[in-house]
Structure 1
Amino acid sequence: MKLKLKAGLIMISVALALVGCGAANDSTNKAAESPKADAVVSKAIEDIKTRGKFVVGVKYDTNLFGLKDPGTGEVNGFDIDIAKAIAKNILGDETKIELVEVTSKTRIPMLNNGDIDAIVATMTITEERKKEVDFTDVYFNAGQSLLVKKGSPIQSIADLKKGVKVLGVKGSTSVKNIAEKAPEATVLQFENYQDAFTALKAGQGDTLTTDNAILYGMTQQDPNYIMVGGNFTDEPYGIAVKKGETEFAKTINELLTSMKASGEYDKIYEKWLGEKPSK
């Protein structure tokens, strides 16, 4: 009886050991798989490091955020400084960056085609866009407003009635918002903001609509134009990366958090917007 009992205990011990080995092997296999999964989501960062350059889509036509100086060829603005901070965080040098011009219409296709690593270009986070790209946390809060020439009878969105011509930019959320909030107005769309602003000054429209931060930049260019009616939408800007590149978005979010904690973000904000960000 004692021999049988001892043999039984030995068999049970062997069985448990085999189960344990199976669990251990399963755990080892999962552990071996996880780095592979991480490699997929952080491919953009690895590509940037291998290339030694951060290629980012920015605006060339948006005063205060991304505007190209025709004399020097330099592009400067709030978004440009944020993009340089990302380059410095990944590569240790903010000059290891290539700025590529995008518009509201071209930026997502260029990202998805691999022409750029990320979009830092006054891009509003929307549920529709989330289907195509991944966004970081909000890095700038804006709101849609109206720009008119001083003395204009248009003072708010309520004045956008039948016969009023509203100028906007192709691919922007502002054009869609106007179609919903002022359906009787006629909307004329342009390729970029400078073209739209030039059209407004030439009398081709009655008002120009987009985010207040962008319109503020236009008032700085020409003080004959003012913003009216306040904000009638919320436009939270996010930095866009390719769909599935969660590790890249996480890295940028950590950088933004660090910049806000150190005061660097506030300095950039005040440099371009003339005031400290509201808390």
Structure 2
Amino acid sequence: MKKLKFLLTLAALVLFLAACGSEDDGASEENGSAGEGGGDGETYTVGIDTTYPPFEFEDSNGDYKGIDVDLITAIADSQGFEITLEPMDFGGIIPALQAGQLDVAIAGMSITDERKEVVDFSDPYFEAGLTLVAQQENNDIEALEDLDGKTVVVKSGTTGAKFAQDNQDEYGFEVTVLEDSPSMFQEVSNGNADVLIEDYPVIAYAIAESNLDLKIVGDRLNGDNYGIAVLKGENADLLEKINAGLQELKDSGEYDEILNTYISE
């Protein structure tokens, strides 16, 4: 009888230990799954230029807004990664990519052959184009041919700056380079420069929203397309996700909704 009780007790103990082991294993598997799920979303640092509305700007609450900000946020949500926005001067964005301080750049950056030597671009996401901008009262300038002896102000590191420098000898104007768009607008408004060269949607938005004493003159100087950039030869998987997310936004209509939030056709 004692032997039977001993065997029954031993059997119960074995079953108890087995049950505990199963619960522990289940808990371990559950915790492991949660850990793997938490690690799925990489976090990437994204360079932006917050002096560039309607594509990037800082609102009165200190929040970053604009077409570029909304686009990259929506792409990240679509593709399951996280982003940290890093504001900086436009001219420092590509060097920051090269230095490994940024993973991505979205800053109204035109796709050019020169930039393609150091970065890989996404599919184009916006058609822009450069334009001349003068004071409202200035009726003497309508085209590049009117710039002989004039001063043209541009922003450092932009396609506008390159366009001006490439064409200054042919059209006989001087070039002044500044670090941000507001300073450039002020330089023309104050009469310290005759015209500026800026991306059409940016200056059209600035004039409409800020009542600047400026006007767009003549036809667009070119037809630039904006792209999202990563360092050349790096982050190919990330670039693939960016393109996939961008296409999803276009297919769903969210891309148009974002543009319409900031630009009225």
- Give distance in 2, aligned partners of 1:189 and 1:138: 27
After TM superposition, the structure 1 stretch with the greater mean CA deviation from structure 2, 216-225 or 257-266, is 216-225
- Give distance in 2, aligned partners of 1:268 and 1:84: 11
Match of 1:68 among 47, 51, 58: 58
1:143 alignment partner AA: G
What is the percent sequence identity of the aligned residues?
A: 31
> Is residue 62–residue 217 contact of structure 1 (8 Å, CA) maintained in 2?
no
> Is residue 97–residue 230 contact of structure 2 (8 Å, CA) maintained in 1?
yes
Consecutive unaligned residues in structure 2, runs of 5 or more: 1-38
- Give distance in 1, aligned partners of 2:40 and 2:174: 49
Secondary structure of 1:189 counterpart: strand
> Is residue 145–residue 231 contact of structure 1 (8 Å, CA) maintained in 2?
yes
> Is residue 54–residue 87 contact of structure 1 (8 Å, CA) maintained in 2?
no
Cα shift at 1:250: 1.5
- Residue matched to 2:6: none
Calculate the aligned-residue CA RMSD, in Å.
1.9
Matches within 5 A, 1:188-227: 188-220=176-208, 221-227=210-216
Matches within 5 A, 1:1-279: 53-69=43-59, 71-91=60-80, 96-152=82-138, 153-162=140-149, 164-183=150-169, 184-220=172-208, 221-244=210-233, 245-275=235-265
- Residue matched to 1:46: none
1:150 alignment partner AA: Q
2:157 alignment partner AA: G
> Is residue 150–residue 224 contact of structure 1 (8 Å, CA) maintained in 2?
yes
1:199 alignment partner AA: E
In structure 2, relative to structure 1, the CA distance for the partners of 1:81 and 1:171 (3 Å cut) is same
| Runs of 4+ residues over 2 Å off in structure 1 | 49-54, 89-92, 179-183
Cα shift at 1:210: 1.6
In structure 2, relative to structure 1, the CA distance for the partners of 1:257 and 1:51 (3 Å cut) is closer
- Residue matched to 1:6: none
> Is residue 47–residue 107 contact of structure 2 (8 Å, CA) maintained in 1?
yes
Cα shift at 1:50: 6.9
1:60 alignment partner AA: T
> Is residue 53–residue 91 contact of structure 1 (8 Å, CA) maintained in 2?
no
In structure 2, relative to structure 1, the CA distance for the partners of 1:251 and 1:97 (3 Å cut) is closer
Consecutive unaligned residues in structure 1, runs of 5 or more: 1-48
* Deviations 1:162-213, CA, capped at 9 Å, x for gaps: 2x11110111111121233342111100011112112222221111112111
